[in-house]
A and B are shown apart, each in its own frame.
Chain A
């Protein structure tokens, strides 16, 4: 049979049973739409996370107290909620003499309820030095950051995040106002959105709010003239000296760089991609089984036609090709519709999420997703069309023509 005739014959088969064909396509449309959506969401979420990690400044090295055991997926004990008191002013002093380190900002964290007039909210406060604003490359929207003199003289000043400003002051200008603090709460988890942060002088946080003399984290900005891994090794040896550690396996601190965080993130997102792909595959599998089901019904319904074609000279291969092509055409069309629908939903999602999410949202419609969707749709057609097509080809012309 000529290609053109197979295509025409299959097309006629599809158009003669519109309702059934549309129903068959629906399964694939849903499958492909979800593939596109999931891949797009995966890509956008990855970009968003990367952006957040990169947005916290550059050439950053984090020191957290306590050693990290196990893989790079494990977190140091201090992050898991264990109180480790080994990071102190001794360390910052030592680091200030290290030439490859540009700046160091110690941090302590706590939670507290803050009040202005009748408004209150629970916040994570961060006690640090004036250098913190330089290390983290933070911009001050209104007013000014506190200075080293504020830190030294225990001045009760705070830089507050946008969300908190809105909660406490509404539309009023918060600069120059006084906020009060109610009873303090436990130390909160790592990593808080900066819109929800209250930054105060470390002296106030340590001595007056928390009553401690250690740090939770040291933020180090490497000198741009030095290679980051060199700086890491310098910082490590400074710490070992200060802490009098000779055996590296007994380190009581963990050094992490932004690159570490990024590569960890890469691993997390590839796991996420695998997961999303699995979910999408399941929905395609369901669509494929639907196709097989409906194709089998079609084959049964068209038994007489199949018998007639065979009687007129079609061989088994001709019949297989006809029904297989019908399945592939249906799934490919379903694939195209799915791509259009999926892309529209991605656009819609972008408009909604970029408005609703405080962090924004990235538009992502990876071409690989589209290519993959088409390939997968056609493949689904072949995979789930082959069995019904074989069933059709096996029909005996006499039996088929007798069939009513």
Chain B
């Protein structure tokens, strides 16, 4: 469902431009759990931002569900970010003065879901990350692990098929990190496509496919041993 072909991303312009991605080709099938690893500055975040429509390639083509994304309008791209792809940030990015409920509600404000169905959707998403008791607490009163779980619930609430997570455990202790990874694993088992950026080997091992990057290029792309790869489709 995601096809990148010799994609480049250059920050700034001309000869001085920073070439963060230098010809990346990557295909991700529906239902996959892909881990992307690589040293800092190798272009992992840049790649993930392109995939999740937060950014656009400077060169190359990105086909999403078989359609070339180059012609997508601002509104179309926003709608895909809303309904098709949930994004989990390293820094959580919750609105601290709002409750868990309100944070999870945010994407629904921009969706076409009827307001009466919101509560059920929010409660289901919060339940799936195990934070039902904290539903009405302010986000800034939660621990880091809880915040990241709220962020996952927020990414889930519009029932996207794809979840992109950029170092979701980077700011967490190992116990909370493991909890977050278990949730992502379960979501993958439930059919979500997961694309995970990490620089921790043990976190990357949750994925069934490991892509490594170096200097804006894909250095390797392989199945992770011990994981089945059945049930994938374009």
B55 cross-chain contacts in A, Cβ below 8 A:
396, 398
A313 & B93 in contact (Cβ 8 Å cutoff): no
Q: Are A314 and B74 in contact (CB under 8 A)?
A: no
Query: In the docked arrangement, what's the CA distance between A314 and B75, Å?
Result: 8
A398-B49, A401-B89 given; A313·B95 CB < 8 A: no
Contacting A at CB under 8 A, from B54-110, are 54-55, 74-75, 77-79, 81-83, 87, 89, 91, 93, 95, 97, 106-107, 109-110
Q: Does B209 contact A (CB under 8 A)?
A: no
Chain A hits for B78, CB < 8 A? 310, 313-316, 318
Query: Is A309 positioned at the interface, with any CB of B under 8 Å from its CB?
Result: yes
What is the minimal beta-carbon distance from A306 to any residue of chain B, in angstroms? 12
1/0 per residue B10-41: CB within 8 Å of A? 00000000000000000000000000000000
Q: Are A308 and B95 in contact (CB under 8 A)?
A: yes
Interface hub of A16, A312, A317 (most chain B Cβ within 10 A): A312
A310's nearest neighbour on chain B, judged by CB, is B78
Partner of A314, one of B93, B110, B158: B110
In the assembly, what is the distance between CA of A311 and CA of B158, in Å? Answer: 13
Nearest-CB residue, chain A, relative to B49: A398
Residues from chain B with a CB closer than 8 A to the CB of A311 are 54, 81, 87, 93
Q: Does B154 contact A (CB under 8 A)?
A: yes
Residues of A within 8 A of B49 (CB): 398
A16 to B95: give the CA distance in the assembly, Å.
12
State the CA gap A401–B55 with chains docked (Å). 12
Return the chain B residue nearest A8 by Cβ: B109
Q: Is the CB of B95 within 8 A of A305?
A: yes
Q: A313-B79, A314-B78, A315-B74 are known contacts. Are A304 and B93 too (CB-CB below 8 A)?
A: yes
Report yes or no: B75 in contact with A317, Cβ–Cβ below 8 A: yes
Q: Which residue of A lies closest to B105 (CB)?
A: A5
A4 at the interface (CB under 8 A from B): yes
Q: How far is the CA of A340 from the CA of B145 in the complex (A)?
A: 50
Q: Report if A313-B97 is in contact (Cβ < 8 Å); known contacts: A4-B115, A5-B109.
A: no
Overall SS of chain B's interface: helix
Residue of A nearest to B112 (CB): A2
- Chain A interface residue count, Cβ-Cβ cutoff 8 angstroms: 23
- Which A residues are in CB contact (< 8 Å) with B141? none
Cβ contacts A1-33/B at 8 Å (1 or 0 each): 110110001000000100000000000000000
Q: Is the CB of B54 within 8 A of A312?
A: no
* Residues of chain A in range 374-404 having any CB-CB distance to chain B below 8 Å: 396-398, 401
Q: CB-CB < 8 A to B77: which residues of A?
A: 315
Known: A313-B79, A313-B83. A397 touches B109 (CB 8 A): no
Question: In the complex, which residues 267-309 of chain A have their Cβ closer than 8 Å to any Cβ of chain B?
Answer: 304-305, 308-309
**Which residues of A lie under 8 Å from residue B54 when comparing CB positions?**
311, 397-398
Q: How far is the CA of A310 from the CA of B77 in the complex (A)?
A: 10
Asked if A313 contacts B107 (CB within 8 A), the reply is yes
Of B55, B77, B109, chain A has the most CB atoms within 10 Å of the CB of B109
Which residue of chain B has the shortest Cβ distance to A308 in the bound complex? B93
With A305-B95, A398-B54 known as contacts, the answer to whether A312 contacts B107 (CB < 8 A) is yes
Nearest residue, chain B, Cβ from A16: B97
Q: Any chain A CB within 8 A of the CB of B143?
A: no
What is the CA–CA distance of A324 and B164 in the complex, to the nearest angstrom? 32
Instruction: Tell whether B201 is near chain A: CB-to-CB under 8 Å.
Output: no
Bound Cα distance A401, B154 (Å): 16
Give the distance in Å from the alpha carbon of A313 to the alpha carbon of B83 in the complex: 8
Interface residue B140 (Cβ < 8 Å from any Cβ of A): no
> Could you say which residues of chain A place their CB within 8 Å of the CB of B171?
none
From B79, B83, B87, B89, residue with most partner A Cβ within 10 Å? B87
Contacting residue for B106 out of A309, A316, A398, CB 8 A: A309
Bound-state Cα–Cα, A304 to B89, Å:
13
Q: Return the CB mask of A342-368 against B: 1 if under 8 Å, else 0.
A: 000000000000000000000000000
CB–CB B93/A315 < 8 A:
no
Chain A residue at minimum C-beta to C-beta distance from B80: A313
B111 within 8 A of A: yes
Contact A313 B111 (CB under 8 A): yes
Closest to B73 in A: A315
Within 8 Å CB of A314, what residues of B? Answer: 78, 109-110
What are 6 sample pairs from A and B whose C-beta atoms fall under 8 A apart? A2-B115, A308-B95, A308-B106, A312-B107, A312-B110, A313-B81
**Beyond the given A311-B81, A312-B110, A401-B89, could you list 4 further A-B residue pairs with CB under 8 A, ordered by the A residue number?**
A5-B115, A16-B97, A313-B158, A316-B75
- A-side residues, CB < 8 A to B, are 1-2, 4-5, 9, 16, 304-305, 308-318, 396-398, 401
Please give the residue numbers on chain B whose beta carbons come within 8 Å of chain A beta carbons, in ascending order.
49, 54-55, 74-75, 77-79, 81-83, 87, 89, 91, 93, 95, 97, 106-107, 109-111, 115, 154, 158
5 A-B pairs with the lowest CB-CB distances in the bound complex, closest first: A313-B82, A315-B78, A313-B110, A312-B107, A315-B75
